[in-house]
């Protein structure tokens, strides 16, 4: 009889633990999703720097459809709506994936684009740093979730998905600076959560860290 009672209460204890474990896994899923958003702020910061640096060179020269698309997609990522210039409205319809030459963008058009964008490198740096501070506020919780995924190694779902660590400039290779989401989490752990970096490291420093951490 005593054995039956012990087994009964032990079973109840196991059942009670299951929801807690499920909730913890769910929390970690949300935490990691939040950490991965850091990549968006990093890429936005690098993209606006690129646009301002090359606004009177790259974008005022003969360009491909990709460069036009880069400006449009960046505008949408910041403002939430696509940028539609007079040139884009009058452009002929083309098949998806077909590369065509477009008229170069004048300095006046570029200034109008930046005026409507109303987002500068200073704004992007501020948002980037503020988000890093937000991540650090939940340091212990984020570290626990990252460590749980790192322990899984190649079995982690985040090891199967890749991301562009650096922003993808127009016409650059699709294969440049790609790492797994798990590696990105490892970099965040080493440089942001356990380190005191103000921003994430460049791709070279990040991959060097990853290689050394494997030793």
Same domain, 210 and 127: yes
pLDDT above 70 for 64: no
Same domain, 111 and 71: yes
Contact 84, 122 (CB under 8 A): no
What's the whole-number mean pLDDT along residues 144-169? 93
Tell whether 23 is covered by a domain.
Answer: no
Span 161-179, pLDDT tens digits:
999 998 877 766 666 789 9
Tell whether 19 is covered by a domain.
Answer: no
pTM for the model = 0.76
Residue that terminates a domain, selected from 118, 135, 151 = 118
DSSP states along 57-78: TGGGS-EEHHHHHHHHHHHHHH
Tell whether 104 is covered by a domain.
Answer: yes
pLDDT above 80 for 102: no
pLDDT above 60 for 120: yes
Contact 180, 162 (CB under 8 A): yes
pLDDT above 70 for 103: no
What's the whole-number mean pLDDT along residues 103-114? 81
As a whole number, the mean pLDDT across the chain is 81
The reported pLDDT for the residue numbered 136 is 96
- CA gap 74, 118 in Å, rounded: 12
Tokens of 157: 């779902």
Tokens of 102: 């477009």
Residue that terminates a domain, selected from 118, 139, 169 = 118
Same domain, 148 and 208: yes
Same domain, 92 and 106: yes
Same domain, 106 and 200: no
Same domain, 40 and 127: yes
Same domain, 129 and 210: yes
Same domain, 193 and 135: yes
**Residue carrying structure tokens 């606004």:** 55
The reported pLDDT for the residue numbered 110 is 86
- CA gap 23, 35 in Å, rounded: 18
Q: What Cα–Cα distance (Å) separates residue 194 from each residue in 140, 177, 185?
A: 10, 23, 12
Same domain, 207 and 143: yes
| Domain of residue 53, residue span | 47-118
Tell whether 111 is covered by a domain.
Answer: yes
Number of domains in the chain: 2
- CA gap 162, 202 in Å, rounded: 17
pLDDT above 60 for 1: no
Same domain, 111 and 59: yes
Same domain, 137 and 166: yes
Tell whether 80 is covered by a domain.
Answer: yes
What's the whole-number mean pLDDT along residues 149-171? 90
Same domain, 205 and 99: no
DSSP states along 81-103: S----HHHHHSPP--TT---EEP
The reported pLDDT for the residue numbered 174 is 63
Span 8-50, pLDDT tens digits:
444 544 444 444 344 477 799 999 999 999 999 999 999 999 9
Residue that terminates a domain, selected from 102, 118, 134 = 118
What's the whole-number mean pLDDT along residues 108-121? 91
- CA gap 66, 97 in Å, rounded: 10
């Amino acid at each position: 009889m005593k054995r039956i009672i012990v087994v009964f209460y032990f079973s109840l204890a196991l059942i009670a633990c299951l929801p807690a474990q499920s909730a913890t896994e769910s929390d970690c899923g949300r935490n990691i999703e939040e950490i991965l958003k850091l990549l968006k702020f990093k890429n936005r910061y690098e993209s606006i720097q690129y646009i301002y640096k090359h606004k009177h060179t790259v974008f005022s020269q003969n360009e491909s459809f990709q460069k036009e698309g880069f400006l449009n997609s960046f505008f949408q990522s910041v403002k939430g709506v696509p940028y539609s210039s007079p040139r884009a409205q009058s452009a002929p319809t083309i098949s998806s994936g077909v590369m065509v030459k477009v008229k170069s963008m004048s300095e006046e058009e570029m200034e109008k684009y930046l005026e409507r964008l109303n987002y500068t490198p200073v704004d992007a740096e501020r948002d980037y740093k503020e988000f890093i501070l937000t991540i650090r506020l939940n340091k212990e919780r984020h570290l626990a979730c990252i460590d749980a995924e790192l322990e899984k190694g190649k079995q982690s779902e985040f090891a199967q998905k890749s991301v562009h660590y650096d922003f993808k400039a127009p016409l650059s290779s699709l294969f440049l600076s790609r790492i797994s989401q798990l590696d990105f989490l490892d970099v965040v752990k080493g440089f942001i959560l356990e380190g005191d970096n103000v921003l994430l490291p460049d791709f070279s420093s990040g991959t060097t860290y990853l290689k050394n951490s494997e030793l």
